Amino acid sequence: MLSFEDKMALIQENFPELELHEVSLGRVNFHYEESVQDKKIVVYHLHPNGNGFVYGGHLPQSVKNDKGYVNIRDYEADELIALIKDSMAFLSKKHGWQQPKKDRTDDTERKEEHWFSHSHEKIRLVGEDGMWFIFDEDDALEAAFETYAEAEGYLKEADFKKRK
């Protein structure tokens, strides 16, 4: 396990674009001011005992806490660098489901897709009359969206993957 000092040095040497902010009880946060998301904190509550969190908006919900952060207590240097890079990349761009409606475009060729979860749940995504509908395994309507990007974002947040 990397110590607090090791993690501080690693972050400061590899990510000069992150801004150090002292919080309380010796903890620090690192902010990414160039984020185009509402979220700016990449490293959250890095504690002198070596514990801390990194924002994981790009990761499945199953590996994040309820605030969207991943615990980095036992991370090795290469794992921590990769996680912070991915976090910053996610915060650096607007995603399809976040675009203003006038800027969104949908692929009119799409009509039906099948998505599945790690627990083998099956979901159908159906495009019809300019709307996108999500149906569960019992063919009950679960959700409806105005754009494909919104529906896709919803399914990805729920840890579903598209069947190829």
| Tens of pLDDT, residue by residue, the chain (164 residues) | 899 999 999 999 999 999 999 999 999 999 999 998 888 999 999 999 999 999 988 777 778 888 889 999 999 999 999 999 999 988 887 655 445 544 444 445 557 899 998 888 899 999 887 788 898 888 888 888 888 888 888 888 888 998 76
- Of 131, 1, 141, 133, nearest to 72 by C-alpha is 1
As a whole number of angstroms, the distance between CA 151 and CA 130 comes to 12
The domain ranges of the chain are 4-91, 97-162
Which amino acid belongs to residue 25? L
Contact of 131 with 144, CB cutoff 8 Å: yes
- The CA-based dihedral angle spanning residues 18, 149, 99, 86, taken in that order and rounded to the nearest 10 degrees: 10
pLDDT at residue number 164: 67
Whole-model pTM: value is: 0.60
Sheet of 28-31: strand order equals: 19-22, 28-31, 41-46, 53-55, 69-71
